[in-house]
Chain A
Amino acid sequence: MRPLTDEETKIMFEKLSKYIGENIKLLVDRPDGTYCFRLHQDRVFYMSEKILKLATNFSRDKLISVGTCFGKFSKTKKFRLHITALDFLAPYAKFKVWVRPGAEQSFLYGNHVLKSGLGRITENTMQYQGVVVYSMADVPLGFGVAAKSTQECRRVDPMSIVVFHQADVGEFIRNEDTLT
């Protein structure tokens, strides 16, 4: 486990800012204690200082997870968000997409969101903007990338993709063994 280098921090913040914009500040500078990002086995974990100090008691190969896993760095040093980060991203999300009850299951099985399943979308969403996907009952389901801007969404036919799937809460079951 080690702190992120400046380069890694930048890559991760750029990815996070696609979803929560400048609200990252609230994750870094929290009033309820010192929280930090740490890299362990290419994965980025977000934890409090207290937990970090406890975690130092474990050897590197025995430690599987500390705090919350935000995502991982791929071999080409790109940052991939994991579904475990949803709890921290959903409250600060700037752009949201609500999915109709009928399309909920399809999204939770890892499919993209089609126009027919789109319930609501935040105004002024741009193309390729990171969005948090909600059910109509305002339960966060995962996150994706807007395939069309809000304007275009109105015009496209019902079977075209509106939101590209990135991660969904169904992964907690599907990828149970690899998720940390």
Chain B
Amino acid sequence: MFDPASHVLRCEMTNMAACSVEELLAKAEQEEAEKLKSISVQKELDLEFDVGNLLACDKNRIESRDFREQRKEDFLRALARDNTQLLINEIWKLPTERIAEVIVAKLPEQTTRLPREKPPPKPRPPTRWEQFAKLKGIQNKKKTNLVWDETAKEWRRRWGYKRANDNTKDWLVEVPETADPNEDQFARRTKAKKERVAKNELNRLKNIARAQKIKTPGVGLLPKAQQSKDELAKAVNVAKTSTASVGRFQDRLPKEKPPKNSGKKRKFEPLIGDFSTEKKKQLELLKLMSSKTPKLDITKAVNTQMRQEDREEAAARRRKGAGGKGRKGSMAGRGKGKGGKGKGGKAGGGGKRRGKPGKH
């Protein structure tokens, strides 16, 4: 029964199978290795790192032959991969810690200075005084901040709160000979001081406005020799709204047009505001809209009326048709019934009456 030839053949087959398995394994291993390229990368010149910025500079010469011979994409990808690997190796050298399951490296200070994103701010344009001073060649003299106050016998600020030699704090003021003797000289000084402050503030605002090239703050209508039509219209509007009720009860001339450009500005709700109030408002509007629709819908009512008429008509026609079919019987029956009712009723009544005594 034993067949040596077939046995040899089977052995060879198993041998071949083993061989191919080994080959396959080796191949797979190689592929795996290629996929996971080693983390050590050889370079002629070391890269320059600025780990703070996550920056690596590769100063190695690029072989233009490689670049040309290989496919460009592949070459660039390989280069990028190697350099990134080096950068990541560098990051791994830094002290790391584990924060919430994530390994975090502390980056050092960056060494490469990056240019700023925005251009540097422009210098402030000179104020009116600075322009004038430059024109006249006036130079700032540095003054000390503190001055000696004779009356208080101490050093005090030259300007501002609790300043030295404050003339509004004098306990006695001499009335000048030319002045009105009833005038309050203390009040005069404080008023003068307040006016100076106000003037200074106005100048400051004017300087800002000039620097930003916008209109200087308006001071209302200034008197003029000749006013244009627009200016007159503006003056009228200002006068009209200058009442205790802000012009609410001001009469209008017949055919007078409402003032232009004095209406309120369009104002919209914020894009992302309160969604619940928005919804509530819309639902209220819907309620209002549904309440306004008439309860009796005329078209609908007319339609139903028309349909009812149609139905009645059809019913009548059907009745008529039915009557035509069974004409004899029905007519005869109806006639009989009618006759019987009408006549019989009357006659019966009489007959009953008549018959009653007969029965008895």
Interfacial chain A residues near B283, Cβ < 8 Å: 25, 28-29
| From A5, A13, A22, contact of B268 by CB (8 A) | A5
Task: Assess whether B286 is in contact with A28, with CB atoms less than 8 Å apart.
Answer: yes
Whether A3 lies near B268 (C-beta < 8 A) is: yes
Q: How far is the CA of A133 from the CA of B279 in the complex (A)?
A: 30
Q: Contact: A6 with B285, CB < 8 Å?
A: yes
In the bound complex, residues from chain A placing their C-beta under 8 Å from that of B289 are 10, 13-14, 17
- A53 CB-CB contact with B under 8 Å: yes
B303 neighbours in A (Cβ, 8 Å) = 124, 126, 149-151
- Give chain A nearest CB distance to B328 CB in angstroms: 36
B123 at the interface (CB under 8 A from A): no
Interface residues on A, range: 20 to 34
Q: Tell me the total A-B contact number using a CB cutoff of 8 A.
A: 62
Return A34 CB to nearest CB of chain B, in Å: 5
Q: In the bound complex, how far is the Cα of B269 from the Cα of A149, in angstroms? A: 41
A179 within 8 A of B: no
A-contacting residues, B248-291, CB 8 Å: 268-273, 275, 278-279, 281-283, 285-286, 289-290
Residue contact B279 to A10, C-beta cutoff 8 Å: no
Query: Can you name the residue of chain A whose Cβ is closest to the Cβ of B290?
Result: A22
> At the interface, is chain B mostly helix, strand, loop or mixed?
helix
Among B271, B299, B306, B307, which residue has its beta carbon within 8 angstroms of that of A1?
Answer: B271
Closest to B276 in A: A34
Q: What is the CB-to-nearest-CB distance from A150 to chain B, in angstroms, rounded to a whole number? A: 7
Nearest A residue to B269, CB-CB: A3
Q: Identify B271's interface contact among A3, A22, A126, A127, CB under 8 A.
A: A3
A36 at the interface (CB under 8 A from B): yes
Contact among B275, B285, B300 with A36 in the assembled complex (CB-CB below 8 Å): B275
B177 within 8 A of A: no
Per the bound structure, the CA–CA distance linking A151 and B272 in Å amounts to 48
- B279 contacts A28, CB within 8 Å? yes
Shortest Cβ gap from B54 to chain A (Å): 26
Residues of B that sit less than 8 Å from A by CB? 268-273, 275, 278-279, 281-283, 285-286, 289-290, 297, 299-300, 303-304, 306-307
User: Which A residues lie at the B interface, using CB under 8 A?
Assistant: 1-3, 5-6, 9-10, 13-14, 17, 22, 24-25, 28-29, 34, 36, 38, 49, 52-53, 56, 124, 126-127, 149-151
